A = this chain, B = another copy of it.
Amino acid sequence: MAAPQYKLTYFDVRGRGEAARLMFALAKQDFEDQRIQGGDWATVKSTTPQGFLPVLETNEGKISQTTAINTYIAEKFGFMPDTAYEKAQAISVMLTLNDLTGRISSQLYMPLVYKVMPVPEDVEAKKKTLAEEINTCLAFIENLSNSGSKFIFSDKISVADIFLFTIMETQRQVLPELNSDNEWFLKVFNNVKTDPRVQEYIKHRKTSPLGV
């Protein structure tokens, strides 16, 4: 079989694709970082397995669904926790954050950050509801975590920590009024952020025109 080659196709934002990019960087694995600009989406859409992004191309085929892509990279490069229980909880954490991201994106990022929709009249009510949902989501993750550890499951960084960090990094940057005051979360977030390999990645990564 040929040497593994990976191509990640996603929009030119961090969003649901950034955890994959960060894992490749931490694993020092080259990959093609194909970033679709809005105007090209209609053409690219028909080449995707399900009409949505991200998509990861591998030697074996294309994978779609964010949690499937992240699980694949995590299994290959050592970011999946060791036990069946913690693997399942990592998937549960990713699915929960993915749902939350969908709601924040469609209700707030679209009008306020990407500016592809009018700002809804009830934007302040939406922010309040979503802030509560963020807190509920983080409380759920804290509750299944091992609270004495650096990261969610242990002192070793996992795909769940990386997805949590990348999703919340953007959220904290663009909508600081939604930020969590959950102490446990802030500890894990900073433990990911201050990892020297993550710092190095952040220093050199591409910035998108939207700044997110």
Contact = CB atoms under 8 A, between A and B. Distances in A.
Given A49-B144, A140-B50, A143-B49, A85 B67 contact: no
A89 interface: yes
A83 B72 CA distance: 9
B60 A87 contact: no
Interface string A41-69: 00000000110000000101111110111
B95 A68 contact: yes
A203 interface: no
B65 A91 contact: yes
Interface string A79-111: 000011101110110011000000000000000
Contacts of A67: 67, 91, 95
A75 interface: yes
Contacts of A69: 88
A204 interface: no
A95 B144 contact: no
A60 B85 contact: yes
A49 B137 CA distance: 10
Given A76-B84, A84-B76, A68 B92 contact: yes
A143 B61 CA distance: 10
Contacts of A171: none
23 contacts: A60-B85, A61-B89, A61-B144, A62-B144, A63-B85, A63-B89, A63-B92, A65-B91, A65-B92, A68-B88, A68-B89, A69-B88, A71-B87, A71-B88, A71-B91, A72-B85, A72-B87, A75-B84, A75-B87, A75-B88, A76-B84, A91-B91, A95-B95
Given A49-B143, A58-B85, A72-B85, 6 more contacts: A63-B88, A63-B89, A65-B91, A68-B89, A72-B88, A75-B87
